[in-house]
Amino acid sequence: MAAAKQNEGKKEEEEEGYTIRVGTRRSALALKQAELVISSLSSAHPHVNFEVHAMATMGDRDKTTPLPEMGKGLWTSELEAKLVAKEVDIIVHSLKDMPTTLPSGCLLGCVTKREDPRDVVIFKEDKYKTLAELAELKEGAVVGTSSVRRAAQLRRRYPGLKFKDVRGNIDTRLKKLDDPENGLDCIILAAAGLLRMDFGDRIGQYLESSTEGGGLLHAVGQGALGIECREDDERVLGLLKSIEHTPTMMAAFAERSVMRTLEGGCSVPIGVETSWVEGEDTEEEGEGESKGGRKLRIRAIVVSLDGTEGVDGEKVEEVASLAQADSLGKKMAQELVDKGAQKILDVINNAREGHEGAGAVKVGDVSK
């Protein structure tokens, strides 16, 4: 007991005056997410100081160019440059915005417990109390989204809908939706951001694979926060262990492995969905630590931009390590390729390369 107290006192003494510089985007949601991470770290390490270093990234500064045209790393590359230069010690990312291949010397240090990963429908303010689901929208209704993944899957399920590119933070998008001059009937957003920013009352419908009438598989890593650090920073890696949520991190590794194997990104319509399969020796989904014998179910989908073609699959395997999670993702990706996903991806990549003056095909390039 005395030795334990002595070690604890020594640890506190080592942490006293130690400062962690936290890199984040400058948006309201990004700052909120950084605050959540700092709060958790401060509870576990009360003697450590934290400084927020916020900056506007390329994706924040350019509010007009459709996201697919801006390439990978639009939310992360400038922050990562500061991490490599040792100007910050960690970066708090929305994991869905974090490329699956990181700069040399950088590491996904931990993933915290996931917020609701589903996509949701937000109806125009004068309609959201009368409309309950997408299926109630009339043919020709306009859906706002900046995501080709969402647009492609919804075109497949609801061919009568039209789509319009909508950029901006949550508050900006809600204002664009409610402004009658924009002609929007609804927008699609991630539940996690709305819930973190206390906009949950605007959620009209949650979308998932089992949604009646047609749902969505969410983006890789959606709802989770990823903490990036330098791979040789053992002190920081040790601190991050206190807020790591193992079930979320394993699920995220499997999802990211699917995308990495398929070489996808923001401009490729890849959707995923993961859940822990209950067994006699398991806990509730997403709670507690991973136990031996737990199985992870992963669903994935690749859809053509116009929604006319799509392949999907599902795999369930025992996952007790990050390596097993990564392997499961690779197998899931290979199954999609075997079913014809590569043909769909090749068409998308060729369209991207041939698209005049742009690096990717955007939401508005395909109409149905």
- The 10 Å CB-count burial string (b at 16+, else e) for 326-364 is bbbbebbbbbbbeeebeebbeebbeebeeeeebebbbbe
Question: For residue 61, what are the contacts with CB-CB under 8 A and spacing of at least 6?
Answer: none
Tell me the torsion sign for CA atoms 158, 164, 167, 171: negative
Which secondary structure element, helix H or strand E, spans residue 40, and what is its range?
Answer: helix 28-44
Whether the CB-CB separation of 37 and 50 falls below 8 Å is answered with no
Q: Which two tokens stand for residue 252?
A: 């995220």
Q: How far apart are CA 223 and CA 205, in angstroms?
A: 17
CA distances from 252 to 13, 92, 344 (A): 35, 15, 24
DSSP states of 231-299: TT-HHHHHHHGGG--HHHHHHHHHHHHHHHHHT--TTS-EEEEEEEEP-TT--STT-S---TT-EEEEE
CA distances 273 to 219, 321, 336, Å, are 8, 19, 14
97 is catalytic: yes
Smallest CA-to-CA distance from 268 within 356, 367, 148, 366 is with 148
Instruction: Give me 341's structure tokens.
Output: 């996903």
> Among the options 62, 89, 97, 232, which is catalytic?
97
Distance CA 73, CA 83 (A): 14
Positions marked catalytic: 97
